[in-house]
């Protein structure tokens, strides 16, 4: 393994660790009431997000979903503003106005993590159209789940991207469930990837627990998109460990031993073993884990130390100019 490959592998491991540790901490403090609202965690799907994002350039675009924490971290976002957003603080990446379902960092190319299922697909198609019109060589990647592929927005966005040969990559992170409903009950084809055929679009099915495999699959799609070959649908077969949202007070669905089965193929464990087998020192990986633990703890401390947003903030960013603030607020 060359040093360059090694750096890249370690970066993948680091980003997956960041997501896992960020999610574990977020779930814990959410249980204590420190994070308001609902929390949809990404633990289990790390290889899907990190593999896909590692195939992109920093300037490429990305659109994601309500399960929003993993995507920006995968694309390289800093943790402090993300954690501050979860706590609803002024220093949050969305100034405390988006929260857990919208951790979107535009500085790493994000164009939103949108919580209406399927609604990101047309946005990504539009960003790809913008790239095409500007001739800037950027591609737009869209994450969504298996559930989204039953939404009209998915089909309309896929169709548009295909008919205009847009530089887009559609990544279905198939974790098997739409909230509690298994994909087998709602998707009439064996693999979501089959749906690409309806749009004359190539598709790839990949093991979503294998970060290298995901990166290779998405890199193939990115290469096609960047050279005028149009969009690709990539289906990553993956799994989320938690319920649809955590700490809801009841289990929506008893998945039996299924979770334990998937944990045997945990993406971080698999990758750690692969790297060690390839000659990476375990101590190096341990050091990364410790560094990430410090980073995540620092992000939480930063979030806790940050101020709440001012009430006037609620009237900013509706339009480019701040709205007038009503009397009952200022009184």
Partner 1 sequence: MAKATFLEAIRQAQYEEMSRDERVFIMGEDIICNVFGTTTGFVDAFGTERVRDTPISENGFIGAAGGAAMVGMRPIVDATISSFLYPAMDQIMSIIAKSRYIYGGQARLPLVIRSCLFYGNSNAAQHSDRNYSMFMNVPGLKIMVPSNAYDMKGMLKAAVRDDDPVLCFEDSTCWMSKADLPDDPDFLIPLGKGDIKREGNDVSIIAIGGAVPLALKAANDLARDGISAEVVDPRSLVPLDKELILRSVRKTGRAITVDPAHQTCSAGSEIAALIAERAFDALRGPVLRVATADTHLPFSPAIEKALYPSPERIVAAARQLVGIRQPENA
Tokens of 159: 């169709």
Identify the residue among 31, 58, 106, 312 touching partner 1 (CB under 8 A).
106
- Binding pattern for the stretch 168-197 against partner 1, x by CB under 8 A and - elsewhere: ------------------------------
Q: Which C-beta is closer to partner 1: that of 51 or that of 72? A: 72
Q: Which C-beta is closer to partner 1: that of 140 or that of 222? A: 140
Q: What is the CA radius of gyration of the chain?
A: 20
Task: Tell whether residue 53 is a contact of partner 1 (CB under 8 A).
Answer: no
- Binding pattern for the stretch 57-96 against partner 1, x by CB under 8 A and - elsewhere: ----x-x----------------------------xxxxx
User: Where do the DSSP E strands lie in 253-316?
Assistant: none
Tokens of 138: 């950027």
Shortest Cβ distance from residue 288 to partner 1 (Å)? 29
Shortest Cβ distance from residue 34 to partner 1 (Å)? 20
- How far is residue 64 CA from its own chain's centroid? 6
Identify the residue among 11, 27, 34, 156 touching partner 1 (CB under 8 A).
156
Q: Which candidate, 234, 223, 237, 236, places its Cα nearest to that of 60? A: 223
Token match 């698999």: residue?
270
Task: Tell whether residue 145 is a contact of partner 1 (CB under 8 A).
Answer: no
Shortest Cβ distance from residue 327 to partner 1 (Å)? 11
Q: Which candidate, 164, 297, 323, places its Cα nearest to that of 228? A: 164
Q: Which C-beta is closer to partner 1: that of 269 or that of 311? A: 311
Number of DSSP helices (H) and strands (E) in the chain, helices first: 11, 8
Tokens of 202: 């190539």
Identify the residue among 8, 76, 130, 216 touching partner 1 (CB under 8 A).
130
Q: Which C-beta is closer to partner 1: that of 127 or that of 187? A: 127
Identify the residue among 185, 251, 283, 320 touching partner 1 (CB under 8 A).
320
Identify the residue among 185, 251, 283, 318 touching partner 1 (CB under 8 A).
318
Tokens of 225: 């998109």
Number of residues lying near partner 1 (CB under 8 A): 48
Task: Tell whether residue 317 is a contact of partner 1 (CB under 8 A).
Answer: yes
User: What's the rounded Cα separation, in Å, for the pair 52 and 71?
Assistant: 9
HEC string of 33-63 equals: CCCCCCCCCCCCCHHHHHHHHHCCCCCCEEE
User: What's the rounded Cα separation, in Å, for the pair 270 and 250?
Assistant: 31
Identify the residue among 73, 123, 171, 225 touching partner 1 (CB under 8 A).
123
Token match 């039953």: residue?
150
Residues 94 and 106 sit within 8 Å (Cβ to Cβ): no
Task: Tell whether residue 306 is a contact of partner 1 (CB under 8 A).
Answer: no
CA atoms within 13 A on the CB side of 149: 28
Q: Which C-beta is closer to partner 1: that of 157 or that of 267? A: 157
Residues 283 and 291 sit within 8 Å (Cβ to Cβ): no
| Binding footprint of partner 1 on the chain (CB under 8 A) | 61, 63, 92-98, 102, 104-106, 111-112, 114, 116, 119, 121-134, 138, 140, 152-153, 156-157, 159-160, 163-164, 316-320, 323
């Amino acid at each position: 393994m060359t040093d360059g490959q090694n750096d890249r592998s370690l970066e993948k491991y680091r980003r997956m660790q960041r997501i896992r540790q960020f999610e574990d901490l977020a779930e814990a403090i959410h249980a204590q009431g420190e994070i308001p609202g609902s929390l949809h965690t990404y633990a289990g799907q790390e290889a899907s997000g990190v593999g896909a994002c590692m195939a992109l350039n920093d300037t490429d675009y990305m659109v994601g979903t309500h399960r929003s924490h993993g995507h920006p971290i995968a694309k390289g976002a800093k943790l402090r503003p993300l954690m501050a957003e979860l706590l609803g603080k002024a220093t949050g990446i969305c100034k405390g106005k988006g929260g857990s379902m919208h951790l979107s960092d535009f500085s790493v190319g994000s164009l939103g993590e949108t919580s209406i299922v399927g609604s990101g697909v047309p946005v990504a198609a539009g960003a790809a159209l913008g790239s095409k019109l500007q001739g800037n060589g950027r591609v737009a990647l869209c994450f969504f789940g298996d559930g989204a592929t039953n939404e009209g927005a998915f089909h309309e966005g896929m169709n548009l991207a295909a008919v205009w040969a847009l530089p887009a990559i559609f990544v279905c992170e198939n974790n098997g469930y739409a909230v509690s409903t298994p994909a087998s009950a709602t998707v009439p084809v064996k693999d979501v990837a089959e749906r690409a055929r309806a749009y004359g679009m190539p598709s790839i099915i990949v093991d979503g627990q294998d970060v290298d495999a995901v990166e290779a699959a998405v890199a193939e799609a990115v290469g096609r998109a960047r050279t005028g070959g149009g969009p690709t649908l990539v289906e990553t077969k993956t799994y989320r460990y938690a319920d649809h949202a955590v700490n809801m007070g009841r289990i929506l669905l008893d998945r039996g031993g299924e979770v334990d089965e998937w944990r045997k193929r945990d993406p971080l464990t698999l990758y750690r073993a692969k790297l060690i087998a390839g000659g990476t020192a375990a101590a190096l990986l341990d050091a990364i884990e410790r560094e990430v633990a410090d980073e995540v703890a620092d992000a939480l401390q930063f979030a806790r130390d940050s101020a709440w947003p001012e009430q006037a903030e609620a009237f900013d960013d509706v339009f480019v100019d701040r709205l007038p603030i009503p009397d009952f607020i200022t009184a």
